[in-house]
């Protein structure tokens, strides 16, 4: 009797535990799929297995979203620390404020990636990858400083880089890869219309990030407020034209081509607005604008390939 009670208890325990074990095993597979695309695989596995949302994921998509949320959370933490450092270190206020803005931009970009992950993992992949620009801003702002707060920010920045690398791996694990999407030279058979859509989406995403940087700079630099507010408005215009082009791409590639071409007038105007400035924020913004021009050129080429 006791034996049958023991067996019944064992069976009942297994019935309760087995789904959990299966979920755990599945989550491990999803984490492995992410980490195999990351250089530091050991750090990736240790980090995600210790993060409950990732360790309990029941699908690859869920694991990817959890990974992106982890990066968002850490970016917010870094932004908060940098903001406090700006208040506590008046002599380094501008540098820490720039770092705070950079981390805010990272958070926004990864949030954008999370929202796009299901519909367009390629765009999500790009949104995470462009965070490297913001990492460079932080390193250039405080990387050479010797104070404790700057050293802490740099330590946090290195951790942020590692988490972003994992986030990139998460987007690739669900099908996102900018290098694959734009890889014409490697002989991939991608439909021209799909490729043009991807390119335009990249342009929209980058215009959004650059406009966000302009908005943050306008808040941080009172003497440049008017110029950067104008720049933000102009980048809103770029996004509008690119979205119009995307909507017209299938029915009228020529109209789409024209809409994208109008963006070149905007970038020229933006360069006139801040191109003569010598401050760090303006120089960074000019570099971002040059990258925007490159993406516009690629988007124009994509519409031409469709007959535009």
Q: Are both 220 and 151 inside the same structural domain?
A: no
Q: Are both 55 and 170 inside the same structural domain?
A: yes
pLDDT band at 66 (very low <50, low <70, confident <90, very high): very high
**pLDDT at 122 exceeding the cut of 50:** yes
Distance CA 104, CA 219 (A): 13
Q: Are 180 and 156 in contact (CB under 8 A)?
A: no
**pLDDT at 105 exceeding the cut of 70:** yes
Q: What is the pTM of this model?
A: 0.59
Helical pair 2-35 and 60-88, crossing angle rounded to 10 deg: 60
Domain that holds residue 117: 21-176
Of residues 151 and 119, more confidently modeled: 151
- Looking at 111, 142, 176, the residue that finishes a domain is 176
Q: Are both 133 and 149 inside the same structural domain?
A: yes
- Name the residue among 230, 210, 257 with its Cα closest to residue 101: 210
Distance CA 211, CA 110 (A): 16
Q: Are both 79 and 187 inside the same structural domain?
A: no
Asked, for residue 151, whether it belongs to a domain, the answer is yes
**Could you report the per-residue pLDDT of 216-271, keeping only the tens digit for each?**
888 888 899 999 999 999 999 999 999 999 888 888 889 999 999 999 999 999 99
Q: What residue spans of 221-252 are helical by DSSP H?
A: 225-248
Contacts (Cβ under 8 Å, ≥6 apart) of 263: 203, 237, 238, 241, 242, 296
Residue with tokens 């990249």: 202
CATH code for the domain in which residue 93 is found = 1.20.140.40
User: How many domains are there within the chain?
Assistant: 2
Q: Are both 169 and 191 inside the same structural domain?
A: no
Asked, for residue 28, whether it belongs to a domain, the answer is yes
Count of other CB atoms within 10 angstroms of residue 188: 11
Q: Are both 264 and 187 inside the same structural domain?
A: yes
Asked, for residue 5, whether it belongs to a domain, the answer is no
């Amino acid at each position: 009797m006791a034996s049958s009670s023991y067996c019944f208890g064992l069976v009942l325990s297994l019935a309760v535990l087995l789904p959990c074990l299966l979920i755990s095993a599945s989550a491990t597979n999803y984490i492995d799929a992410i980490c195999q695309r990351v250089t530091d695989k050991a750090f990736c596995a240790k980090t995600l297995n210790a993060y409950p949302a990732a360790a309990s994921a029941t699908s690859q998509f869920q694991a990817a979203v959890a990974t992106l949320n982890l990066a968002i959370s850490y970016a917010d933490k870094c932004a908060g620390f940098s903001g406090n450092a700006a208040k506590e270190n008046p002599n380094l206020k501008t540098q820490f404020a720039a770092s705070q803005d950079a981390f805010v931009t990272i958070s926004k970009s990864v949030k954008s990636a999370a929202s796009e992950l299901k519909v367009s993992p390629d765009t999500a992949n790009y949104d995470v990858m462009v965070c490297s620009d913001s990492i460079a801003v932080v390193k250039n702002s405080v990387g050479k400083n010797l104070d404790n707060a700057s050293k802490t920010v740099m330590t946090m920045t290195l951790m942020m880089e590692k988490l972003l690398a994992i986030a990139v791996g998460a987007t690739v694990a669900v099908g996102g890869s900018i290098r694959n999407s734009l890889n014409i030279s490697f002989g991939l058979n991608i439909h021209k219309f799909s490729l043009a859509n991807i390119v335009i989406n990249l342009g929209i995403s980058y215009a959004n990030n650059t406009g966000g940087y302009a908005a943050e700079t306008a808040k941080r630099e009172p003497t440049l407020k008017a110029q950067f507010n104008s720049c933000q408005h102009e980048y809103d215009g770029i996004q509008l034209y690119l979205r119009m082009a995307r909507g017209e791409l299938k029915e009228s590639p020529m109209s789409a081509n024209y809409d994208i071409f109008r963006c070149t007038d905007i970038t020229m105007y933006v360069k006139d607005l801040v191109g003569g400035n010598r401050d760090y924020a303006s120089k960074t913004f000019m570099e971002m604008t040059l990258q925007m021009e490159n993406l516009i050129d690629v988007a124009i080429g994509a519409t031409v390939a469709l007959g535009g």
